[in-house]
Amino acid sequence: MIRGALPLLALVLGLIVISDSANGAESIFDLSLEELGEVSVSVSSKVDLPMSLSPASVSVFDHRQLYQSGIHQLADLADITPAYASYSIFGERVLETRGQKAGSFENNKHLVLLDGIRLNHARANKAPIENELPLWAMDKLQILRGPASALYGQSAFYGVVSVDSMFSETDDLSGEVTYSPQNEGARLNLMGNLHTALGHSYLVYSQFDKESNNAFVGPEFSIYQQYYDVQDANFVYARQYFNHDHLGAFSLGYIELERQSGLGEHWVGDFSTPENNILWSTEVIYLQWNKKWNARWNSSLKWVNNNSVEQGTATNSNREQAIDGEPITFNQYRVDVRSQLIEAELSWQMGERESLIAGLSVEQRQDLGGFFVADLSVDQLAGNGSHRADSERAKSDKVLYQGAYLQYYSLLSFWENLHLTAGLRYDKGEYLDDDFSQWSPRIALVKQFNPNWTAKASYSSAFRSPGLKEYLLNAETKGYIADHALSVDIALGKVSESLNAETFESTELSFVYQDSPVIVKLNGFYNQTKNALDGQTIMFIDKQGDLVSKNSFSNSSQDYSVYGAEIELEWRLSPLWHLTGFISQAFSYDDSKLATMDVAKFKSNLSLTGDLSWATLNFNQRYHGDIDGDVDNISTFDTTLSDQRSALNWYIKVANLFNEQNYYPVNGAVGNPMPERTFEFGLAYKFK
């Protein structure tokens, strides 16, 4: 790998010399390093602050940067974002932050917002991070690392991703097509803004399709277990905006995210088939009202309706049965969930550098039913679905969530340039006779000593509430035990009577040094997870004398503690070349090793972007190491050549240039294969 990179390093150095000596060349970097430090961010406080004064660690990306790197989905962006990464399980990409990840494939410990609207799936809060959310149509992304429930409530656990669309008050129409020959991956994006007497209209449509990888899965690399990751994704966003001088601003929006894909390795029985698939669908309708009463008072009211569907087909046969030639059978299910959320917020600008935000939220979720049917043959899968009528699931009772929060921000007068952010949120949830409540505090101090040095200290917290998936699974298990167990009371005693919220606390200390042409950031953190909501297997003897196992959820008594550090670098090598990079290291205590299972505790990334006068060149080197188990490291080198100087934009990307054979770890073993060398070509045009 290093030997292969040496010729490229020599080429890069030559390009820097050539491009810097080119007469009349304009820099692609519109902002100086000083201006970069003043880029406005709001995800960490709902107050527009320069990034250097943000009360939490935030990374910011814009549309141009994403295009220069050939990045279209959040999962890929996470792999080059400080402290973040993604991994693969059951064909799903899942986020990891600072050495900790969500369990299984749900990806339910990160919150994703689009123009301030929650996009997480309503059943289990799964975050959309693949091609169902196309980044080409987005203007700006803020990625917060660390808990943020003091503002956002549940799911803002390990981090928050806030995405701003390209909604604007100018008329425009753009389109993009991309193609990758290795997996026959094709993408179509369309986006437009139109201003009329009725207000401003915005529309985005995206379609993505790719074929399956079909690579063999470790550790045995058998024909019986291949990686089936075929994918079909759609995205629609329609927004109508109207501003009245007296009534305020109104936004009516419709967002549709849908992705159907294979189940990857499907670890059940070390056996996978191409028939395995899962569909995630989310339809969001929202109405938002904002009113600026005067220079000091602002209010907003938001209603969000989220209809989500999870539907899957998965084999219940194992490898041994397949080898013996037994017929392969499948389970098929569908779950429909509705969430209705009302949020109200009042903002008081108490002074030039002092503000208070107060908010209330009420959310109601309900499982609307669906179906579950077992032991289907391949022929039945291809049928008309008439078997589902006898396997319908009933509606559930409703889960009610309520929350209230306050946040105060001030530039303290008794100590020059000391910024205080303090907040507190109270949440409670109810499902039948079960309930929980949770306080989520946060406090942050930011001190700017001089134009070069800034220090930050913060404490923040988050929670993940039990939801429909956890409540209903426990209820189903209890019902099955009551009907089938030989000793009902003994078996029921193994199922949790009630569920509490899983909590996460983080303490962070940061230093920022800025002196052109360099910005350096150093972060240290200590994280602790309590009452983790984990799945557990309930074993009991049924009335026929057979040993039976059923799944349920409970709160773990084990606390998990992880600590570590990050260093980030931005270096303007010349007016036309920019170097960014980071190194992060996470550590876990001996009793917390499970929290970092299959996670790369060491991460590094180096990105070099330069202007060649006729195109932009980007090199990106990613290295993930310190992984417990059989996977030593993950290393990739990507390069992208692009141009965005006119109405016609194009890019050529080579991912994994040196064709490294990388694998994700699964339970400490060599697991899912990562893509080999891949070419992708993109062409975009702005019509007006």
Question: How do residues 232-245 score in pLDDT, each as one tens digit?
Answer: 999 999 999 999 99
- The dihedral of CA 313, 316, 322, 327: what is its sign? negative
Contact call for residues 126 and 94 (beta carbons, < 8 A): no
The whole-number pLDDT of residue 385 equals: 60
For residue 282, what are the contacts with CB-CB under 8 A and spacing of at least 6? 119, 121, 122, 128, 132, 255, 256, 257, 258, 306, 307, 308, 309
Residue segments in the chain with a per-residue pLDDT below the cut of 50: 1-28
The whole-number pLDDT of residue 591 equals: 81
Residue-wise pLDDT tens digits, 576-631? 999 999 999 999 988 888 778 889 999 999 999 999 989 999 999 999 999 988 99
Structural domains of the chain ordered from first start: 2-21+39-686 (2.40.170.20)
Backbone angles phi, psi at 473, to 5 degrees: -65, -45
The whole-number pLDDT of residue 18 equals: 38
The whole-number pLDDT of residue 71 equals: 97
Contact call for residues 50 and 37 (beta carbons, < 8 A): yes
The whole-number pLDDT of residue 586 equals: 95
For residues 28 and 578, what is the distance between their CA atoms, to the nearest angstrom? Answer: 10
For residues 40 and 49, what is the distance between their CA atoms, to the nearest angstrom? Answer: 5
| 95, 215, 666 from 661: Cα distances, Å | 21, 11, 16
By the 10 Å C-beta count (0-12 exposed, 13-18 middle, 19+ buried), 78 is classed as: buried
The whole-number pLDDT of residue 106 equals: 81
The whole-number pLDDT of residue 143 equals: 97
> What element of type H or E holds 216?
strand 215-216
Contact call for residues 631 and 602 (beta carbons, < 8 A): no
For residue 273, what are the contacts with CB-CB under 8 A and spacing of at least 6? 228, 266, 315, 328
Tokens of 605: 């990334």
Q: For residue 536, what are the β-bridge partners?
A: 552
Q: For residue 113, what are the β-bridge partners?
A: 118, 162
